[in-house]
Each structure stands twice: as structure tokens, then as C-alpha cells.
Amino acid sequence: MAPQQSASLLTSCCGAKPSSSRRTNNRIVTAQSRHQAQERAIESALLLAAVFSVAITVGIVGVLIYESLKFFGRVSLIDFLTDRQWTPLFADAHYGILPLVAGTLVTTTVALEVALPLGTITAIYLSEYAPYRLRETVKPFLELLTAVPTVVLGYFALLSVTPLLQRLWPTLPGFNMLSAGLVIGVMIIPYISSVSEDAMRAVPMDLREGSYAMGATRLQTALRVVVPSALSGIAAAYVLGVSRAIGETMVVAIAAGMQPTLTLNPMEPAATITAYIVQVSLGDLPYGSIGYQTIFAAGLVLLLMTLVFNIAGHVLRKQFPQR
Amino acid sequence: MIPTHESATKAEVKGLNFYYGKVQALTDVNLTIAEGQVTALIGPSGCGKTTCLRCFNRMHDLYQGTRYEGEIILYPDKINVIDHSVDPIEVRMRVSMVFQKPNPFPKSIFENVAYGLRIRGVDRRSELHEKVELALRDAALWDEVKDRLRDPAYVLSGGQQQRLCIARALAPDPELLLFDEPTSALDPTATARIEELVSQLKEKVTIVIVTHNMQQAARVSDFTAFMYLGRLVEFDKTDRMFTNPSNKLTEDYITGRFS
Amino acid sequence: MSPSMKRSITRRKIADTAFAAVGLSATLVGVVTLLALILGLILDGLPRLTWQFFTSYPSRFPEQAGILPAWVGTCLVMLVTAFAAVPLGVAAAIYLEEYAPRNWVTDLIEINVANLAGVPSIVYGLMALGLFVYQFRLGASILTAGLTLALLILPMIILTTREAIRSVPTSIREAAYALGATKWQTVKDHVLPYSSGGTLTGLILAFSRAVGETAPLMTIGALSFIAFLPHPPWQPEFPYLSFRWLMDSFTVMPIQMFNWVSRPQEAFHLNAAATGLTLIGMTLLMNGLAIFLRARYRKRIRW
């Protein structure tokens, strides 16, 4: 319809002014617009950045597998898994991963014996008991604990915790897994308590009200109503704590010594997988030597261990609604 | 169902179907939007009136799984705005929207109104000031904010914020202005002011308004479309529909037998 | 009320109060440990925090040793980390929040990022050793270190930036689109500016973590006893920017601390304490800054 026609029709109807006089030159242009090419370019660039994260994983897995394959070309898998000695740098070289795994497991166990009870109790206390102001004062401190560089925690374990423990057990060696484990345990408390607390706070208030209305105390409500409802979240917290403990390096490298020994006694020094990698890095190993390749084989074992726990934690965490 | 009338057509909806994934939300909607008039879409919750409104400016394109069928022809160039070869950006350059809950940007009052102009390439300060003032006057807000254009938008009251959003939508000189229940979040005084504004604005721009308040539709609109369960039940001049509806369903809704 | 019921109530109340005490103590364990740690550092390290300490090189004599190359190294490495991690992380977050369709590719990327966040930091060091140091021939340089840390904190940055972007309400986006803005215009003019506070907070926390990282940098071969500084990033002639420092050897503060704590002489332990105090000071400062910014930004932007 031509503009002039519509104008006259309008005036004949409602006395409305024709609006075409104020039209600027907007015209619909079908699909080929100047901005479309630019928009697509920007989207591609952003996509590249997002995909890059996948490249990182590929890089990590690739490097570890590549070097480990070279390692396993020279050392049999059976020996690796069953030999009870790890002495790759000695003349009589043994390549059994058990001592390192034992070291990792013992320190982690000590850490968990501290962190799981304390973390859970802290979570219950903060979620069900603590007044608002106390919670708001304490939480920043706990957050800060996670921000302390682990090398500082290692210093603390070696120079403060070990001497303290030696007053109780004078035969305790200067390097031992106990101090390292205790400090790692305290370091993990905030991880466990904050994820558990989130899970507990996500439990709806009316469930608690039902329990209180029957005359239950806070403790009973917490233990019989809140914790069971938040169980998957708490389990996720535990699992994430385990994963963090397994991957810890500096505290053990400084305080537990770097002597790979196959022992389950936390009062002895030992090396974890992570501490071994550090020890080798401190030295000078030519690229391509078997000594160099051992750290990748050890690293692969470490990655697999943490991967299992990370996936488990992720699956568990998805089962409770976020606050 | 399309009544003969004397004013020109601004838009024509032909055989509009709309799907959210597999669910069909609109079925065979046909209506004519008259230029320079206010057309209201009314109906009970879930009848599809907002869904229909958001087809006019391709808002559904922002979400995955939506599909349009049919035509919404925009005059005078007679382009089907829901055809997917048509760029939604260009559609929105011609069709503006005011939302249910006032949503000014967390910027200054001036910058809120100016944003639509800036993305259209207007950057000369004198031109910006001129157009911003014009838009704020058209939205009946100028006198209240002229001394504090640099203040953040959130210091305004709810009703003022909504008028700011109207000014923002008017600044780029749209051909069609869509209102999605613009007063449902406002108090009665603010509501009355906005209704008055809508009646005045139709001289400058064609208006389509969705409202769940029938009395508002009766007060403000020239044409009304009554929708139910995704279909257009009746479309007529407002005074005819409210005094003598042709469809029983329409009559039931208007007399309050269901809402 | 029967006497046995009264007894039961009393018993349960006692248990309740007892638990409150236990709970409080458990909660305070972490706090007390932290305070003991900081106190210990202050007692041993504060006397060593002198101007001389910050401007000297490491030495065989603990009283003369200083952390000059260490904190310079930290700064230079963080510079590389920032340049690499910030654009990549923010861009990836924008894509995942604003552009990514819900399909398996997006799910893969998201699972991947979540996974990377849980990989031990030393594994990043191993990857960097094999890839950057040897495969790409970048050697044990500042560039390698910066890239390694950048990859380490990338998942953190992506996660926190996504959260910040998500806090911008949909209604604001719809308002922008309804005015005819393109997707990029909406992101550039609205989403990014309004989420910048949260993004910045996340970035600062990520950098604070990177500053304290030791294991990955040791793995790529950072030295712990260097008697020289890397080249400066500037030069007197045009173009005034120099990049020679990227390939220089280096050390960083946490490694220096590790080196000193591993020595048997107690005097070196005091140096380690001083370094630790500096590190914690930096961490506190950055975390405090992040909290302050978060509060200020929350006041400015109101929906």
C-alpha cells in the first residue's frame, strides 16, 4: 500500500496524524546484514577459548600417557605394581610403586581421621547451632585457611607440629607422616565443612520443624533428620576432601621426608607420589632417561586416583539441590 | 473475523502457529493490527497472549526449541517478520517492547534512553540529547527527571521506572510498540498514568498491548482480541466486543465467569 | 509427666549442650591452627623483614640472604599468567553462559572444566614439563611458568566468571535485545559491565592462589638459588618493551621458602618464616581486596 494512500485513509478515520512523516530510513534487510559476519567471528573466537579447556585435558593426559608408555616399555607392569621397593635412581633399580602409594594412602588416612570428624561436626554446628554472627565471623577464617600457600603449611608441619609431637613421643623422627597428615587434615577441614554445610542448609526448614514439633533436641534433629537428608552432599564433601589430600604435595615434601619406604606406620618418614615427583625435579635428570620417565608413570597413577574420586564426588554432588 | 475498518493496516497476522518444542502454544491465529490504534490481547492465564505478542519482535528466538509457523506481515513493505530468513535484529529495530516488570539498565536515566539510539549509530551529543528529551517528554517523564538525567535509574519509583522503559522503547522511533502487561507490577496511581500515556501514544506509534485486566483493555484499546488455549476466539472493535460479544466464551470471560 | 520421661528429657538436653561445646571446639580447631601458624611466622619471621631482606640475593650466609630474585620472579611470572589466563578464561565463560547451545559439545566442555578444577597442581607441572619445556622447547623459563599457572587457574576463572555473568538477570538481557541489540552488543554493553565486580573478585582470588603455588613450578625446573635477576620488561630504545625476560630462568617466593626450610640451619628457617609471612601477607591483602570489591560492587549494582 503506497504511503500516500494510507495517510489519507488514516485522516479520514480517527483524525490521527499519519505516522509516516516521522519514519526514519529503517528498512528490513533480509539475512545478509553487516553485523552478522562480525557476530559469527566473535562467536567462533569465544568458542575456541571454551574448547581450549578440552585441549588442556588432552595435553595432560597425552603427556602422561606418552611418557608412561615409554616407561612401561622398559619396566613391566607387574613389577611396577608388585615390587616392594622404589629405587629408580640407584644402581640396583627397583620400580615398584607400592611404597609411594603406601605413603600417599597413610598420609591421606591420617588427614581424613582429622578432617572427616572435625569437618562434619563443624558443619553440623555451623548449620544447626551457631548463631548468625558466630557463623559469619568463623567462616572467613575457614576460607582463609584454604588460601594459605601449602609451602607455608609444610613449614608449620615441620617446625611447629613435629616438635610438639616429639614432646609426646620422643622417638618420633624429624620427618614423619603423622605431622604431615595432621596438617593436611586441618587444611581440608574447610573443604569438608563448607560443602557439607551447604548440603545441610539446603534441607528445607519444614523437615526440621516437623522434628522440633515432636520435642526433639537440636542434636536429635541434626543427626536424625538433617544429616540423612543431606547425605549425598556430605558424601560428596568427603570424596572431594580425599581427592584434595591425595594430591597434596608441599606439606608432605617438607615434613614427611622424601624417602620412599613401604610402611604403614605414620610415625615413620616416607614419600608420597607427589613428594617423589618433587624430589626428582630438584635433581638433574636428562630428558628421556628412565628416571625422567618414572615421574610421569607416578603422575599417571596419581591422576587416576584423583580422577576416580573427582568423578564420584561430582556424581554425588549433583544429587542434592544447591542453595 | 477481521472487521472492515477505515484505518490503514500496520501488521497482519496470518495463520500463526507457535511451538515450544513439541508443545503447540498458538494455533491458527489471524488478526489485523490497525495503524495508529491500540489493539489489546486479553484472555485467561496461559491463553497464549504473551506468547503471541513476543512473536511480533522475535523474542522467542532467544530461546532454544521455539518454532514459528505462518506469517506476521509488517506494512508498508509487507515483510513476514517471522520468516527465518529475516534477521530478528532488524525486526527489533522497528518493533519495540515494554515489559511486565520495569527493567531499566543499571545505568543513568539518560543512558537508559540513549542506549537504543547509540546502537543505531547516533553518537553526536546534540542529537542524542534532543532525542532523549523528546522520548522522555512522550513518556510523560521529562519534568520529573530533567534535572537528574545523570542519576542512576534505580532511584526512580516503580511507576517512573516503567515510564523510563517506555521512553527507552520510544527513543529509536519504532513503528510498532508492544506492551506486555505493563501495569501488573504497579500501584493504581502509576497504572492510571501509564494507561493515560498509552492512549496518547497511539498518535505516534501503533500499539499492541497484552493485559489480564479486562477493564484496562476496555479503557485503553480500540480493538480487542480475546484468546483462549492458544486460539483466537474473537477479534473486534473494543466497544462492540464488550457490549455485544459474538462468542459465548468471550461473553463468559467478560462477565467474569472465569478468569 | 512421668519421672522416666523427665529423665529422658534431661539426658537429651545434656547431650545437646555437650554437642554444642564439642561443635564449637571442632569449629575453632581450624581457626586456632591458623592463628598459631600466623603467630609462629610473626615471631620468627618479623625481625627478618627488613629492607635488606627484600633487596638482597640468596646467599650462603643466612643473615645476608634476601628474596629479591624471588619476588621479582613472582611478579614477572604473574604478569604472564594474567595475560594468558584472563582473556582465555573470561572468553570461555562468556561463551558457555551466553552462546553455548545445550548439546553434547557444551556438556563435554563443562564436565571437562569441572574435572580440571580437581586435578592436583603437580600434574599441571608434569604436563608443562613434557609439553612446554621439552616439546615446545620453551625451557624452564618465566614464559613456561606463567603458562603453567595460567592453565592451573583457568578452571577457577571460568567457574567464577560464569557465576558472575549468571547473576545478571534475564530481564536486562531481554530489554537490550528488544531494543535491537545484537548478542555481542548485549554482552559488551550490559552483561560484562554489570558482572565485572564479580569477575574481578574471582580473578583476584585465582591470582592469590597462583602466587602460592610451588609444586608445578618446581616440576618444570625453576631454580631455587639464583644470583641474578631476569631481564627487565623494558628497554631504553624503541619500542621500549623488551621480551627477553620471558625466556630467562627464575625463581619464585614459595620455592625460595621451600629451599630455606629444607636446610638444617635454623637461621635459614628464620628467612623461610619471613618469606612465609610475606606470602601470607600478600594472600591476605588480595583476599581482603576481593571481599572489599565484592561488597562495593554489590552496593553499586542493584536489580
> What is the tens place of the pLDDT at every residue in C173-213?
999 999 999 999 999 999 999 998 889 999 999 999 999 99
Top pLDDT among A315 and C176 is at C176
C-alpha cell at A150: 601449602
With contacts defined as CB-CB under 8 Å, which chain A residues touch C191? none
Kindly state whether residues A151 and A187 are assigned to the same domain: yes
Kindly state whether residues A299 and A219 are assigned to the same domain: yes
> What is the tens place of the pLDDT at every residue in A228-267?
888 888 988 898 899 999 999 999 999 998 888 888 888 8
Query: What is the least distance, in Å, from the CA of C119 to any CA of chain B?
Result: 33
Kindly state whether residues C228 and C282 are assigned to the same domain: yes
Question: How far is it, in rounded angstroms, from Cα C129 to Cα C194?
Answer: 39
Kindly state whether residues A223 and A267 are assigned to the same domain: yes
pLDDT of A83:
85
Question: What's at B11, amino acid-wise?
Answer: A
Interface partners of chain A (CB pairs < 8 Å, 3 or more) are: B, C
Kindly state whether residues A52 and A112 are assigned to the same domain: no
Q: What is the ipTM of this complex?
A: 0.89
Question: How far is it, in rounded angstroms, from Cα C102 to Cα B172?
Answer: 34
Kindly state whether residues C105 and C137 are assigned to the same domain: yes
* pLDDT bucket at A10, cuts 50 / 70 / 90: very low
Question: What's at C66, amino acid-wise?
Answer: G
Residue A28 counted as domain residue: no
CB contact under 8 A, A26 and B86: no
The answer to whether B57 faces chain A, any CB pair under 8 Å, is: no
pLDDT of A5:
38
pLDDT of A230:
87
Closest CA to C161 of C76, C56, C85: C85
Q: Which of A26, A45, A76 is the last residue of a domain?
A: A76
Kindly state whether residues C147 and C22 are assigned to the same domain: no
Kindly state whether residues A186 and A223 are assigned to the same domain: yes
CB contact under 8 A, B76 and A3: yes
Question: Which of A39, A156, A314 is the closest to C182 by Cβ?
Answer: A39
The two beta strands, B23-34 and B9-20, are: antiparallel
Query: What is the least distance, in Å, from the CA of B116 to any CA of chain C?
Result: 6
Tally the residues of chain B.
Answer: 259
pLDDT of C206:
94
- Give, in order, the Cα–Cα distances in Å from C185 to each of C58, C99, C182: 52, 13, 5
Residue A82 counted as domain residue: no
CATH number at residue A209: 1.10.3720.10
Per-residue pLDDT, averaged over A84-112, amounts to 88
pLDDT of C242:
80
pLDDT of B127:
92
In the predicted model, is pLDDT for residue A20 greater than 80?
no
Residues 6+ apart with CB under 8 A from C79: C146, C233
> Coil, helix or strand for B176?
strand
Handedness of CA C257, C258, C263, C264 (dihedral sign): positive
Residue A90 counted as domain residue: no
Among A272-276, B87-91, C1-5, the least confident range: C1-5
pLDDT of A18:
36
pTM of the model: 0.86
Residue A234's H or E segment, with its range, is: helix A231-246
Kindly state whether residues A69 and A118 are assigned to the same domain: no
Instruction: Quickly list DSSP for C205-252.
Output: HHHHHHHT--HHHHHTT--S---S-PPPSB-SSTT-B--GGGGS----
Kindly state whether residues C100 and C121 are assigned to the same domain: yes
Among A154-158, A180-184, B194-198, C59-63, the least confident range: C59-63
Kindly state whether residues A152 and A297 are assigned to the same domain: yes
Kindly state whether residues C41 and C171 are assigned to the same domain: no
Question: Which of A45, A56, A281 is the closest to C91 by Cβ?
Answer: A45
pLDDT of A91:
78
pLDDT of B51:
94
Kindly state whether residues C245 and C155 are assigned to the same domain: yes
Q: How far is residue C42 CA from its own chain's centroid?
A: 23
Place of cell 610473626: C42
Place of cell 630438584: A282
Give the number of domains in chain C. Answer: 2
Question: How far is it, in rounded angstroms, from Cα C262 to Cα C240?
Answer: 40
Residue A42: give the domain boundaries: 37-76
Nearest CA in chain B to A32: B87
Task: Give the DSSP letter of residue A17.
Answer: P
Kindly state whether residues C125 and C242 are assigned to the same domain: yes
Residue C175: give the domain boundaries: 49-300
Give the number of domains in chain A. Answer: 2
Place of cell 578464561: C89
C-alpha cell at A39: 557476530
Kindly state whether residues A192 and A249 are assigned to the same domain: yes
Q: Return the bridge partners of B225, or none.
A: B41, B235
C291 contacts C269 by C-beta, under 8 angstroms: no
Kindly state whether residues C24 and C161 are assigned to the same domain: no
Residue A323 counted as domain residue: no
**In the CATH scheme, what is the homologous superfamily, with its name and number, of domain B9-254?**
P-loop containing nucleotide triphosphate hydrolases (3.40.50.300)
Kindly state whether residues A57 and A133 are assigned to the same domain: no
Question: Which of C101, C178, C182 is the closest to B96 by Cβ?
Answer: C178
Closest CA to C67 of C59, C76, C77, C57: C57
pLDDT of A80:
86
Q: Return the bridge partners of B236, or none.
A: B224
∠ CA A15-A21-A26, rounded to 5°: 130
Kindly state whether residues A254 and A293 are assigned to the same domain: yes
Question: What's at B127, amino acid-wise?
Answer: E
* pLDDT bucket at A79, cuts 50 / 70 / 90: confident
Question: How far is it, in rounded angstroms, from Cα B34 to Cα B12?
Answer: 9
In the predicted model, is pLDDT for residue A212 greater than 50?
yes
Nearest CA in chain A to C127: A60
Kindly state whether residues C69 and C144 are assigned to the same domain: yes
B101 contacts B179 by C-beta, under 8 angstroms: no
Nearest CA in chain B to A24: B173
Kindly state whether residues C10 and C146 are assigned to the same domain: no
Kindly state whether residues A72 and A156 are assigned to the same domain: no
Interface partners of chain B (CB pairs < 8 Å, 3 or more) are: A, C
Residue A30 counted as domain residue: no
Kindly state whether residues C171 and C224 are assigned to the same domain: yes
Kindly state whether residues A119 and A176 are assigned to the same domain: yes
| A-B C-beta contacts closer than 8 Å | 75
Interface test with C, best of B105, B168, B177 (most C CBs within 10 A): B105
Kindly state whether residues C122 and C191 are assigned to the same domain: yes
In the predicted model, is pLDDT for residue C40 greater than 80?
yes
CATH number at residue C139: 1.10.3720.10
